[in-house]
Amino acid sequence: MTVIRPGAPGYVRPRAKETSVQRVVLALLVMAVVLAPNITIRTGMYSPRGEDLILVAVAAVWALTLPLKRRRMEPPVGFSHGNLILTRIMGGMFYGAVISIGVGTIAFQQQLVFNDWMILPMIARYWLIFQMGQWVGQETEQRVFLWAVMVSLGLSASIGVLQYFNLFGINDWLTPLYVMEHTRVVGLILLKLGLPGARVVGTHGDPRHYAYMLVVGIGLCIAILLNLRSKAIQMTAVVVLGLCLMAMAFTASRTAFLSSMVVFLVVIIIQLRGFGGGARLMGGLLVVATVIALASPALESSTFQDRVLDMDSRSFGSSSHARIRDLRTPFVLALESPIIWMTGRGPSKSEIRTDSHNDFGWYFYRFGLPGLLLYLLLIASGLKQSLRAWKYEADPVKRTISMVAFISMINWFLFAMAENIFKDPQLMSLNMLLIGACVGVSRMEQND
């Protein structure tokens, strides 16, 4: 028997140790993204998160083990080019941000502050999480990944439900860890006292952005019910679905309500067009309808009725105006200063407010029309990649991951028209992790 030594042509290194390490790291990353609070060091500065510590550790291990690759040995963790289109888009966003910062500072004679440069490590951070998402390869890893995402989102939804009723005094010891911004302190007081207008913030700190994660959780549960046959994971998905629906109602987020409706409609249309068959769809819809009926008492809260269902309320009018204003104003200003069309103003944190109720308007004003097109292309590429994988994957686990990624991309696009998503590290980490996982399972299928 001929023994092929490591490094020699034809040698195939056993993947057991590598995949076990990556499996554990990936599960920890998922839990950190969904459940970890921000670590506030100083007001006004970037607050690192739990996943940042994992990213630093992984990048350090990868850098230290580069010599192993030169000797044709695989390190315990590594990165691949994956989907070059997505990588090039994010590379274009990185270099475009550098140009926008430089040109904007000179053209508008504005002060350049340190925080303006933080957009660069932010983009690099998203790319790195996208790369780690591609670790989802073998079937065991895929199932661990699905369980990690579902359990994490289920725990997050449970925390949201507990916050609404203030069970175990959760709003006195746990919720304050997530509510770090002074603008949300009033909301925390309302939660503690159980007053009308209280909106749960879950494991995010902002009820609107927390609702974003819950819509992803709802999409994940629907994908599992439509594709997987394991009783254990299906029963867990039913429970998590009910928790996500209740917690979403307690956020009183109009955007989440609209997005979830669009997700339901898109899934029904695509399934009926032959992506998964009508029988499975009807069974899944029956389960979802039952869960919605059981969770419907949450829709009777006064806050939900006022903010979501009453379109004539003052709250609804002011909210709609803010969304339209933040989309329209950047383009009006660009007509007065044509250079905004080409390069934008850069982050310009010393001159203009950093928040916005429209992500596309925010990105255009900072990085110009090329930056906006790259942002739209990033979402469109994610949609195309996930829809293709959902359509052609025969393996049910891979179809589930692809379907969740597709739902996440739809949710991202819809929320971006009403909220500031790109500069939210928690939501973007979830987005890039899911699309990375979709790319990972697609690449494994091609390699097989």
Tokens 């829709």 -> residue: 299
Q: What does pTM read for this prediction?
A: 0.89
Residue closest to 421 by CA, chosen among 386, 382, 379, 383: 379
pLDDT tens-digit series, residues 332-359: 989 998 999 999 988 877 677 677 788 9
List strand residue ranges (DSSP E) for 187-232, in order: none
**Tokens of residue 321, six digits:** 């105006």
Distance CA 116, CA 123 (A): 13
What is the DSSP secondary structure assignment for residue 118, as one 8-state letter? G
Q: Where do the domains of the chain lie? A: 50-55+83-133+323-448, 137-310
Give yes or no for a contact between 291 and 241, defined as CB atoms under 8 angstroms apart: yes
Torsion, Cα 77 80 85 88, to 10 degrees, reads 80
Sign for the pseudo-dihedral over CA of 436, 442, 447, 448: positive
Q: Which two tokens stand for residue 374?
A: 């790259």
> What residue type is assigned to position 225 of the chain?
L
| pLDDT tens digits for range 181-230 | 555 677 777 787 777 678 899 999 899 999 999 999 999 999 998 888 88
| Residue ranges for the chain with pLDDT beneath 50 | 1, 3-17, 71-73, 447-448
The tokens describing 289, both together, are 């309808």
Cα separation, 365 vs 361, whole angstroms = 6
287-296's contacts with Cβ under 8 Å and 24+ in sequence apart are 287/225, 287/238, 288/222, 288/225, 288/241, 288/264, 291/238, 291/241, 291/242, 291/245, 292/245, 294/242, 295/242, 295/245, 295/246, 295/249
Do 366 and 348 meet the contact criterion of CB atoms below 8 Å apart?
yes
For residue 264, the SS3 value is: helix
Query: d(Cα 224, Cα 147) in Å, to the nearest integer?
Result: 10
Residue 396 to residue 116: CA distance in whole angstroms = 44
What is the pLDDT at residue 319? 65
User: Which token pair is 71?
Assistant: 């000797």
Query: Would you say 306 and 251 are in contact if contact means Cβ atoms under 8 Å apart?
Result: no
pLDDT at 1: 44
